[in-house]
Amino acid sequence: MKNDRLTIIKSAVEEIKEGMYVNLGIGLPTLVANYIPPEMTVMLQSENGLLGIGAYPYAGEEDPDLINAGKETVTAVTGASFFDSAQSFAMIRGGHIDLAILGGMEVAENGDLANWMIPGKMVKGMGGAMDLVNGAKRVVVIMEHVNKSGESKVKKACTLPLTGKGVVNRLITDLAVFDFTEAGMVLTAIQPGATMEEVAANTEAQFTSSPLLQSKLQMSKGDRYE
């Protein structure tokens, strides 16, 4: 795995707390399951009807009947339960999911999310994303900061079809962590190896820095000048 992806995943794991019911979106978020501390009791939920997803199975131990919403083979933890999609979405729409960690194609400065289709490309559907961004108590999006062309995915306004308006609570990328507040988009952390200049150069959206981050940056500057 690329180091920048591992940085994103480790930051995402920090969002998960003891006893939570968590939904991991298709793609990069599914890898989070492998990094949850084994001593932590967490129930991972999948839209296709599984509560209690474990880590990916070892090669040769896959069960083709045990899959997540992305049709990947998974494992089930002790106490897992299986049910139909109607019950799964009732769980999501009823507000019983504490945290949804989703992938993103674009996130706008007002918390809009686009993560389900690129016009002109084949798409199977939006899956459960539109339900999750409205039903989960907290929505965290994880994605790489720029696309393959080097263009910012952290936008002033999304250009792709929206999954939801103003639904993102936190954005984690390989460069930074942002929170979305009533005062706007706030930079709360810079990822290891990244710089403030790099974050600013690769972010189309307007943002402010949190007082705590500003204090840390000032202290680090002071250390360099001593």
List of residues 6+ apart from 216 with CB closer than 8 A: none
Q: Of 24, 29, 39, 165, nearest to 99 (Cα)?
A: 24
Cα-trace Rg, the chain: 18
Angle at 106 between CA 3 and CA 13, to 5 degrees: 40
**What residues are paired with 24 via a beta bridge?**
101
Nearest to 57 by CA among 48, 47, 66, 49: 66
Catalytic residues: 47
Please name the residue ranges forming H helices in 115-158.
Answer: 129-135
